[in-house]
Amino acid sequence: MNKLHSLTGKDLQNKIEELLRSTKRPGIERVIKFLADRDFYTAPASTRFHGNHEGGLAEHSYNVFLLLDKKNVDYGLGIPHNSVIIAGLLHDICKVDFYTTGTRNVKDKAGKWQQVRVYQVEDKLVMGHGAKSVYMLQNMIRLTLQEAMMIRWHMGPFANEGDNQYGFNNACEQVPAVCAIHTADMEASNLFEETKKV
């Protein structure tokens, strides 16, 4: 599988913090501290799909930023660079403190059952994926309307109960950058990120 970057661990954390600081957004130090104090840099991006390993969330967030930034430049989308950084890196902030670890019984190659460590969801604030990220961020920094729409709709039309293609299409018409972050998220997840078999 191709990778977009080779940053991991502390190097990745330093790069993400450098990018966030470069926005000079009032309150951004609160976001940086929040990410460092919680499990953003060690959490998975999912339980069974892309980035379902330690550090997967930070890797996925950086991948989405890289792809969104490239689209913005290549296609002349005109998204302010600070918005590319904030929406790209923080679209999944709702996954901080979202996963716990547990065990599951699986058969090994010899057909014998064994317990393996798995990630499980423990959602303490059930309000929808993108909406939850917007809510969490708005308590630390002020988002532009474009950033809020990008983060809210980054999963496309079926991320939350009640979402539909009509709503997503309207969001893309109102804020074309929504389409760019959605496709960046899909490309990162499906083309560049590993899924570990459990």
Q: Residue 172 has what pLDDT?
A: 93
pLDDT per residue as tens digits for the range 93-106: 999 988 788 878 88
The residue count of the chain comes to 198
Element housing 100 (H / E): strand 99-107
- In this prediction, the residues of the chain whose per-residue pLDDT falls under 50 are none
Task: Give DSSP secondary structure letters for 1-28.
Answer: ---S----HHHHHHHHHHHHHHT--TTH
Asked if 46 contacts 52 with a C-beta cutoff of 8 angstroms, the reply is yes
User: 113 by DSSP, 3-state: which?
Assistant: strand
pLDDT at residue 7 in the model:
94
The CA distance from 35 to 23, in Å, is: 16
Mean residue pLDDT of the chain comes to 90
- Cα separation, 40 vs 94, whole angstroms: 10
pLDDT at position 159: 67
Note the pTM of the prediction, 2 decimals: 0.90
Displacement of CA 140 from its chain's centroid (Å): 17
Instruction: Tell me which residue has tokens 């909406």.
Output: 131
Residues forming a β-bridge with 99: 121
Tell me which residue has tokens 């991991």. Answer: 8
- Nearest-angstrom CA–CA distance, 21 and 25: 8
